[in-house]
Every structure is written in structure tokens, then in C-alpha cells.
Amino acid sequence: MNSSTSFSAKHPGAPVQADRPVRFSLAGPSRPFDPARQAIRPDLADVAEAEHHFAPHYAEPAIRQVVHDAPLFEQAGGEAIRATLKGGESFAMLDVTGGWAWGYRLSDHLVGYVEASALAPSS
């Protein structure tokens, strides 16, 4: 295909509009969400939220095992603790930055940050 090929030719099933770019629009009301139970940040969200919430990027969670009891914080490096993750629990990790893993406890979907050193790949 060359650079003059239309969008619809490159993407079968796309709407065909003569000499006009294909446009998409958001429709419907915004939905509120609970940041303690839904893994959505301004820059990233759990791919499971894609059907209902917009984010610039989505991530598929990587399941990790909590290796020792560790606090789950509301913010990376913050003081507010949401819960204590127990050794052996599963954690769905969506991002790791600066030694902090962001994601949610698999058992109840409680979202927060945990020190990355408290997690290991699931066996």
C-alpha cells in the first residue's frame, strides 16, 4: 500500500467517507469511578476499564506474589495506608516506577502502591 491509500482500505470494516478523514467522538455521560477500587490514573488504567473509562494508556496486569507483609499506600511514598498486604497474597501489578508498584490486591480489587521489593513473580 502506498501513502495515498485511504484509512478504510488499510482497516477493513472502517466507515467509508469520500475524501474526508474518519472521525471518532465520545458519546454519553462521564462515569464516576472509585479510585480505591478501580485502577485508573490520569496516565494509565487497567485494560479491564477500557470499555467504560478513557485513559491515554491501558495495561494488562502482571500477577505478582506478595513475599512478606507490606503496606498498600494510596500514593507512592505517601503516608496514607489503605491496607496491609499479607505474604502469599496475589497482587495485580500495572506499573512499576521508582521502586513502587501500582496495581490492586486480587482478592478484593483494592488499588494502591506497594514497594516493588515486596513482590515476586507468581509461580
List the CATH number of the domain containing 51.
2.30.30.40
> Between the CA of residue 5 and those of 2, 20, 23, 33, 72, what are the distances in Å?
6, 13, 17, 41, 50
> Which candidate, 56, 113, 48, places its Cα nearest to that of 79?
113
In contact, 41 and 55? CB cutoff 8 Å: yes
Of 88 and 54, the one with more pLDDT: 88
Range of weakest confidence among 23-32, 70-79, 113-122: 23-32
In the chain, the N- to C-terminal Cα span, in Å, equals 45
Highest mean pLDDT among 10-24, 49-63, 77-91: 77-91
Helix (H) or strand (E) run with residue 95 in it: strand 90-97
pTM: 0.76
* Within a domain: 74: yes
Mean pLDDT of 2-20: 48
* Within a domain: 97: yes
**Partners of residue 85 on adjacent β-strands:** 70
Query: Across the chain, which distance is largest between two alpha carbons, in Å?
Result: 60
* Within a domain: 29: no
* Within a domain: 28: no
| Domain residue limits at 95 | 45-121
Number of domains in the chain: 1
* Within a domain: 6: no
